[in-house]
A = this chain, B = another copy of it.
Amino acid sequence: MNFMEKIAFAARKNNSLVCVGLDPDLAKLPECVKNCADPIFEFNKQIIDATKDLVCAYKPQAAYYAGQDCDESLKKSIAYIKKNAPDVPVILDVKRGDIGSTAEYYAKEAFERYNADAVTVNPYMGLDAVKPFLDYADKGVIILCRTSNPHSGDLQNLVADGLPLYKHVAKLVRDNWNYNRNAALVVGATYPEELKELREMCPELPFLVPGVGAQGGDVEKVVKFGCDKTWGGIIVNSSRGIIYASKGDDFAGKSGAAARDLRDMINSFR
């Protein structure tokens, strides 16, 4: 199965549009995993075990592993998902953007070294920066469009030819970059009106939607404005709200409960 088939299958099988952001911060891990040989892997493993029937995807954020010098924990975590939750695709959140030969190495990093099913990519450098990823036709390529952060408008809201920059990105992806039918967009939950307009512009592109939970995005609006008529069409990411639902010995069980709550809340609005 390619990424698009895999996410559709997982969303239907688990009746869920929830994606768990695996962003483990050593300083924030529960005491009970801190003394393990590989605390980050142990933490992820227990979260995965507790949530694998409740989600449509996992999204490890590469910076947490790179910044804490634990690439091996990332590799092991993805391998663990492939073995124990083989139906659930892995989106490696790297937001890379570089040209030709360099982008090819980043694609190799994500898809071969780490064996991810999909990757996030930055569009600022244009097609050259995205093509080496798109050319892996079986893999998903999720392109930053309207991001959820407070200053995302610094560039994304600049209006050219009557359209804000982020809509130019959406158009490029819809009309030119989706030649392998493996592209998707990152659209933050914190700007629901813009999510609505983007869904109208791009009825066939899946959206990865960060920003519910800690960042304050409104789940009801995200679902009402973002869902399409296929498997759902939105991948709603929550990181802190799920992985840090408890910092006690019961963290895994609580993460499962938080994933279930978010799944049910999303489904109640569909």
Q: Does A37 contact B (CB under 8 A)?
A: no
User: What 0/1 readout, one digit per residue, does chain A (101-118) give for beta carbons within 8 Å of chain B?
Assistant: 111111111000100000
For A165, give its contact among B105, B155, B172 (CB under 8 Å).
B155
A68 interfacial contact with B, CB 8 Å: yes
Q: Which residues, 215 to 270 on A, are CB-close (under 8 Å) to B?
A: none
Contacting B at CB under 8 A, from A67-113, are: 67-69, 71, 95-109, 113
Interface size bucket, A side? Answer: 35 or more
Option from B64, B71, B99, B159 in Cβ contact (under 8 Å) with A105: B64
- How many copies of the chain does the oligomer comprise? 2
Indicate if A192 sits at the interface (CB-CB under 8 A).
no
Residues of B within 8 A of A126 (CB): 147, 149-156
A15 within 8 A of B: no
Closest residue on chain B to residue A152 by CB atoms: B126
A66, A106, A123, A147 interface centre (most CB from chain B within 10 Å):
A66
A67 touches B113 (CB 8 A): yes
CA–CA, A69 to B110, complex, Å?
11
**Which of chain B's residues has its CB closest to A186's CB?**
B125
A104 CB contacts on chain B under 8 angstroms: 67
The winner among A96, A101, A124, A154 for most chain B CB atoms within 10 A is A124
Q: Check A98 against B95 for contact (C-beta < 8 Å).
A: yes
Given A98-B95, A113-B69, A123-B124, do A168 and B158 touch, yes or no (CB 8 Å)? yes
Residues of B with C-beta under 8 A to A106: 63, 66-67
The residues of A with any CB-CB pair to B shorter than 8 Å are: 23, 25, 61, 63-64, 66-69, 71, 95-109, 113, 122-129, 144, 147-156, 158-161, 165, 168-169, 172
Pick 10 A–B contacts, CB within 8 A, sort by A. Answer: A63-B98, A68-B105, A97-B122, A97-B124, A122-B124, A123-B124, A126-B156, A127-B151, A155-B165, A158-B165
